[in-house]
Structure 1
Amino acid sequence: MAGMNTRLQGSSVEVLLWECQLATAWSTGYQQPPKIDFPVDLHTPAETSDVSNPFQGEKILTKHSLFDSNKLEILKKKKMAMEDGAIKSCSNFTVLTAFAWRARSKARRMNPDQTSPLLFAADVRSKLHPPLVF
């Protein structure tokens, strides 16, 4: 450290070290993690059916789908028709997620009335007031 700046002596070095640590913390976005003082249930296990190995002895097929804007509009209309107009709008993300999750549930031969959790991460820090910064 002394080789970087020969004019520093005594307590000036301590101040510089503190400022360097502060600058490093600021530049990396480091802050103390927020304290959560309430119970958080990130995953509630759903009832499971016997799907430990539903494909034993079967040939597994793979299907790929391409979603252009026209196909998304058709999927949105189908989704709205299925809900009897209960929803006013549906995002592309919601439509594709529902489509993929439904296909996954059918492929796993799940009971149609069975609840299954779908978790995904979303960065909402900038939407919060005051915004969280990590």
Structure 2
Amino acid sequence: MEIKNKLKATTISGLSAIAGIMMFTYGAPSKSQSAPANKCEFFEHFDYEGRSFMLHHNHVLTVGTDVQVKHEDARRTRGDYQKFVDPTWKGIISSVKTGSNCVAQMNFPGGNGINVQKDAPRMSGQFNDSAEYVSCYCKN
């Protein structure tokens, strides 16, 4: 089931920008399943509990309007990417599932970042509940 959340969405292609609405996918895989192909799923609690949202390939979610996506992340996508803003996810992402062909990138205050290449039921230490923006990149 897909539910539309009224979020600001921007498609970046050269110098053009278009506002839109983001599609979050809920009711996704069970705890034992990974995220579907071409998607990454983020959860508010350890062990894939609580609220969740999915990002598709080349999607970036920031937790505040002042967070800028790093240039190298945008370049890495080799084309268009969509940026979404939702401050309700600030400081609460604690577990991640990745599709078999995807990497979830999580960026933190101070410029630190990690690539999550397989399911991570418990983000540890400084990586738990502190992401400034997250993204999903998949190989087709």
Shorter-chain TM-score: what band? Answer: under 0.3
- Taking CA–CA contacts closer than 8 Å with sequence separation of 6 or more, which of the two structures ends up with the larger relative contact order? 1
Bigger-Rg structure (1/2): 1
Q: TM-score, structure 2 length as denominator?
A: 0.22
Q: TM-score, structure 1 length as denominator?
A: 0.23
